[in-house]
Structures are given as structure tokens and as C-alpha cells.
Chain A
Amino acid sequence: MNTDQKALQELLFQLADDDFILAYRGSEWLGLAPHIEEDVAFSSMSQDTMGHAVMFYEMLEELGAGTADDLAQLRKPQDFRNAVLVERPNGTGHYMEQPNYDWAYAVARTYLYELFKWVRLEALMSSSYQPLVQISRKMMTELRYHLMHWQTWTKHLAGGGQESRDRLQAAIAQVCQDIEGLFSFGPHADAIVAAGLIADASTLKARWLEKASDALAKNGLALPDAFPAPSHDGRAGEHTEQLADVLNTLSEVYRLDPAAAW
């Protein structure tokens, strides 16, 4: 594989894995959201996000990286390229046992991630790799609804009294502990940018900062002044133990017999 091909695959894994793992976290909320109507709406967005991951895995499949299902379910944690932010648990407990999930964190993480995703897709619209240009346009149409939805939640939690506001502000601070990890293209960053696949990470970060600060400022909220260096560089395959749990759950059935038809 030449450098350009390697760079393309690395980027596709970042795109696919981010969406796949965040959609998994979203699916853990199924049936547990704070309002029944919201439960239904949130699930649509998790489906959209997982749908996007599938589209990226299928692009990898076409490039000969393996089947989409194998890529999603049989790789080891160190082969995943998602940012650590998306693998962080929804709270303590397990989705089937004592899920002490934090809605403020769900709102803050999903919103700030989806704003990043918007910026990243926008940048992909001028990618040198045509399939990425087309796919990004499609995904952005669905993303518009997500952003409207999470903006509404941010507004209501910010304006929902002291407790709610404090919880949201704390959740934003927690998300920002990991935010820097989104703006890494990993060890192949130079090749990715040199191949014209996407604008460089600092450009994305500047655009995101502007969007996210605006979105929060509208609700009297603010981002912290600085973001710590990430505890793990997910783009380099460094992950928390939680990712291993996630992958074990995701592949529990498939691993019984990956050769079988399911």
C-alpha cells in the first residue's frame, strides 16, 4: 500500500470509528431517555450516526480493507481510530444493570461532537477523494436535524434553572477534557493532509471553536479557555479500557461464528 492509500484508509477508519462508537453509546440510551418522545427521537439520530459509520466501512470494504462487518466487529481495540471522547461511558453502571446515565453529558457530548462532525464534513466537501465529497453532502442533510435537536436541548438545559445549568456546564467541562482528541489525524496526519483528503487539523479546530463558542454563547454558556492534551490518542490506537468492553459487546454474537450467515 502506498502512502496515499494508507492515508486514505487511516482517515476513513477515523470517520467510521468515531460514528460507530458514538452510535453505540447512543443505543445504550434506548428505552432510558428522560422523556418517551425524546427516546424515540434520540434513537433516530443514533441510527443515522450508525448508518454513516456503515457508509464509511463500506468505502473501506471497496478499497479492499475487509468486509464492513469484519472491520466493525473483529478488529482489536488498538486498531480502532476513534477519538477517546466517543468511547467514554454514558455514566456508571451497565446498560442492562444500574445504568446511572447522565443526560447532561449526553447532550454536551453529542452536540459538541456533531458540531465537529459538521466542520469535518464541510472540509471533506473539498476532498481530493471524490467518494468522500459525495457522501459528505448526504450526511450533512441528516446532520442538520441533529444540530437543531441538540441546540434545542442545550438551550433548555441552560435555561432550566440553576441545577440544570450547573449540570450542563459541568458536562461541557467534562467533554472538553477529551475534545483535543477530535482534532488529531494521528500518526499519518501529514500524509492525510498532503494527499488533499481534508484540511489540516488546526483549521478544523479553529472552525469548530467558532461554531461551538457561538452555539454556547447563545445560551450564556462558554467553552473553557484551554483544552488539555488528550489522555489517550485514539487516532494512534490508544484507548481506555471501556473501548474493549464496547467491542466485546458489539461483537459478542458475530464472534460466535464470523463465517456464518446471520
Chain B
Amino acid sequence: MSEQAKPNGFDIYEVFSQRTPTSSFVHQFSLLAPNHEVAMSMARENFLRRDSVVNIWVVKRDDIYVCPPEEREFLERLDNKAYRETKGYGDLQSKWRAHRERYEAEHSNNQ
């Protein structure tokens, strides 16, 4: 975006934060700042006053390539992908149980 398009000059920065070293970054909100450094100096207090965080990202919104609105419908998927998920394998538990019970039954008969 060019300077002329922003009479106020400040840019929009998106703020992300990470709660623990093993958690993913989560988007919080956006703020106006003249540059990354100032954005960072205000980020935590604006959006994370009551949260503990171990790291923060500030990203200039102009640098984010957003999926265009008219293409977001392509993000939808048919609900026919059970083979990718654990719910597609719901029969395993009962099969294992049957095998164990048969095994145990055979072994107790042998005694």
C-alpha cells in the first residue's frame, strides 16, 4: 500500500502470541503503529494484559496474503474423508477385544 493511500501514515500490525513454548501462535488483534518496533512495544499491553505469554509476533497487515473472499468458498470440503481421521477406524477397538477374549477363552480351556 502506498503512503498516499494512508493520510495518517500509521500502518496496521497484526499481533500474534504464544502462551507456552510448546503451544502454537494465536492471532490476537490489530493495532496502529508507525513501524514494527513501536507496534511491539505496545502489543502485549493492548491485547494480553491478563495472559501470560512467552513470545509475540507483530506482522504488518500489508505483508499478509489473504485468501480472497470469493475464493474462500473453495476452502469447503465434502464430508467424505473419514479415511483421514481416527473416526474412520472406529471398529479397531472391538476387533482387538474380540481377539483377546478368544485368546483368553482358548487358554483357560487348555488348563
Which residues of A come within 8 Å of B, CB atoms?
A: 35, 37-38, 40-41, 43-44, 145, 148-149, 152-153, 155-156
Query: Are A41 and B42 closer than 8 Å at their CB atoms?
Result: yes
Size bracket, chain B contacts: 10 to 19
B34 contacts chain A at the CB level, 8 A cutoff: yes
Check if B49 sits within 8 Å of A44, measured CB to CB. Answer: yes
Q: Is the CB of A156 within 8 A of B34?
A: yes
Of listed B38, B44, B49, residue having the most chain A CB within 10 A: B38
List 11 A-B residue pairs with CB atoms under 8 Å apart, sorted by A's residue number. Answer: A37-B31, A37-B42, A40-B45, A41-B45, A43-B45, A152-B37, A152-B38, A152-B41, A155-B37, A156-B34, A156-B38
Give every chain A residue within 8 A of B41 (Cβ-Cβ): 41, 148-149, 152-153
Contacts of A41 in B (CB 8 A): 41-42, 45-46
Given the complex, which residues of A lie within 8 Å of B31, measured CB to CB? 37
CB proximity of B9 to chain A, nearest CB, Å: 12
Q: Please, how many angstroms separate the alpha-carbon atoms of A149 and B40 in the complex?
A: 9
Name which residue of chain A comes closest to B31, CB basis. Answer: A37
Neighbouring B residues of A38 by C-beta, 8 Å: 42
Chain B 74-97 near chain A by CB (<8 Å), digits 1 or 0:
000000000000000000000000
| Cβ A40 vs Cβ B46 within 8 A | yes
Binary CB contact string for chain B from 49 to 76 against chain A (1 if under 8 A, 0 otherwise): 1000000000000000000000000000
- List chain B residues, Cβ under 8 A from A37: 31-33, 42, 46
